[in-house]
Amino acid sequence: MNDSRSSIAHAWTVSIEEAKRIQHDLSKKVILGNRFNKIERIAAVAVLFSRDQEEVFVGCVALSFPGLDVLEGSCIRRKVVFPYVSGFFAFSAGPAILSALKKIQRPDLIMFPGRGVAHPRGLGLASHLGVLLGLPTIAVSKTPLWADQLEPASRKGAFTLVKGRGKKLVGAVVRTREGTKPVFVTPGHKVSAQTAVQIVLDCCPKYRIPEPLRLAHALAKKAAVA
């Protein structure tokens, strides 16, 4: 990914306590608001782990937006440098994701699986890598992130916003297809919750899961069987 390096960097092979400190420090740099001119190129990544969790497989794809035409893609496998632990996904998958992203042209926005600011320390995968790369990011999860979430209406495009500490908007429960389970959208960096919802809906012309993430997942599976 051209010009993907950021002035912000840190070690990946660290202790849990050091990882918490890094998350705490980087969370202060997260911007919850739109900081972009135009989105014409969206990238997405998907992550799979080997059964023994010693290897990670990453698929990365870039699509035009809003047309969603595939522009390029990459897939890689890497040794895990930080054991997979809940709340520290970025430390397990981050180095491999950054390597995959370097193989494509710099996008205007990146879509990640998992979490953005909806995280115990405010720095899920999308927020963490968004800050490091200096790019707008969004996270989409199939798994509920909030215990007290309100279900949106059954029609496609319905959503309910979720507030976190200080009543800040930290995400939304979004119905991307009528009559299916919702997905859980959180802004990562340089994107508002409302804009994140709209972009996700624009990326779901046929399926429950946004097209960029669906295609990235197929590439991750390709890396896993290579």
User: Cα separations (Å) of 68 from 25, 46, 199, 214, 219?
Assistant: 35, 17, 11, 12, 16
CATH topology classification for 16-138+189-195+203-225:
archaeoglobus fulgidus dsm 4304 fold (3.30.2170)
* Residue 215, pLDDT score: 97
Summarised one tens digit per residue, pLDDT across range 44-56 is 999 999 999 999 9
Give dist(CA 78, CA 223) in Å, integer: 10
CA 14 distance to own-chain centroid: 22
pLDDT for 3 equals 42
SS3 category, 51: coil
Provide the whole-model pTM: 0.93
- Structure tokens of 205? 């012309």
- How far apart CA 43 and CA 89 sit, in angstroms, is 19
pLDDT for res 35: 95
In sequence order, the β-bridge partners of residue 161 are 172
pLDDT < 50 positions in the chain: 2-5
Q: Which amino acid is at 190?
A: K
- Are the beta carbons of 107 and 76 closer than 8 angstroms? no
pLDDT digits (tens, 9 = 90+) for 150-182: 889 999 999 999 987 766 888 999 999 998 999
Could you identify the residue written with the tokens 């802004």?
187
pLDDT digits (tens, 9 = 90+) for 116-128: 999 999 999 999 9
Angle at the Cα of 202 from the Cα atoms of 48 and 134, rounded to 5 degrees: 60
Query: What's the rounded Cα separation, in Å, for the pair 96 and 103?
Result: 11
